[in-house]
Amino acid sequence: MNRLNKKAVSAVVATVLIIMITVAAVGIIWAAIIPMVRDSLTKGTVCNDALSDVSLVVDGGYTCLGSDGNLSLQIQKGPNAKVALVAVDAVIFTGGDSKTKRINITNTWNGGTSNISGSLPGNNEFKTILLTNFTGATKVKIAPVVSVGKTEELCAATQEVVLGPCK
């Protein structure tokens, strides 16, 4: 066995290989991790903007419960153009139960035991939406649904409004 004929990798080649492996690893991490972090930060920022930009209007008597069981919601959208409002989830409380109804930008949905008429407001607008068959509803919350890139993000529910009778 001749130990003198064995060849080894030189120190320069080993150093270059280690540097190339490190650069490749950093590139892979950069390509995979940074977009995930950026998307998470964007989702949080967009929901914060939406929560401050979309609200139920309490004054004026348009957010109320009619004697016929129809629930009227007046929704206000502020001026923030960065908030791409796709829908609003209305959480309606009746006694100890709650139901969630999705109100889309252009409401074409009719189904179940309640119908929805009306559409969501644009920038600097108020819109009144009518939901039928909610006799006994006591309070309501809304949760904005916003567009973040190619996905929709459901934000937390906003202020809780105790329903009074419609005038």
Q: What SS3 class is residue 82?
A: coil
102 and 115 in contact (C-beta within 8 Å)? no
Question: What's the CA gap between 80 and 67, in Å, rounded?
Answer: 35
91 and 141 in contact (C-beta within 8 Å)? yes
Adjacent-strand bridge partners of 6: none
Q: Which domains does the chain have, with CATH numbers?
A: 9-167 (2.60.40.10)
Question: What's the CA gap between 116 and 71, in Å, rounded?
Answer: 10
- Looking at residue 49, its amino acid is D
47 and 152 in contact (C-beta within 8 Å)? no
Percent of the chain with pLDDT over 70: 85
Model confidence at 117, pLDDT cuts 50, 70, 90, reads low
Question: What's the CA gap between 117 and 138, in Å, rounded?
Answer: 20
Q: What's the pLDDT score for residue 60?
A: 79
Contact residues for 157 (Cβ-Cβ < 8 A; gap 6+): 89, 91, 141, 142, 143
Model's pTM, two decimal places?
0.69
Give how far Cα 10 sits from Cα of 3, 4, 18, 102, Å. 17, 15, 13, 67
Give how far Cα 148 sits from Cα of 84, 151, 153, Å. 8, 5, 7
Adjacent-strand bridge partners of 31: none
Write the pLDDT tens digit of every residue in 119-145: 788 888 988 888 888 889 999 999 999
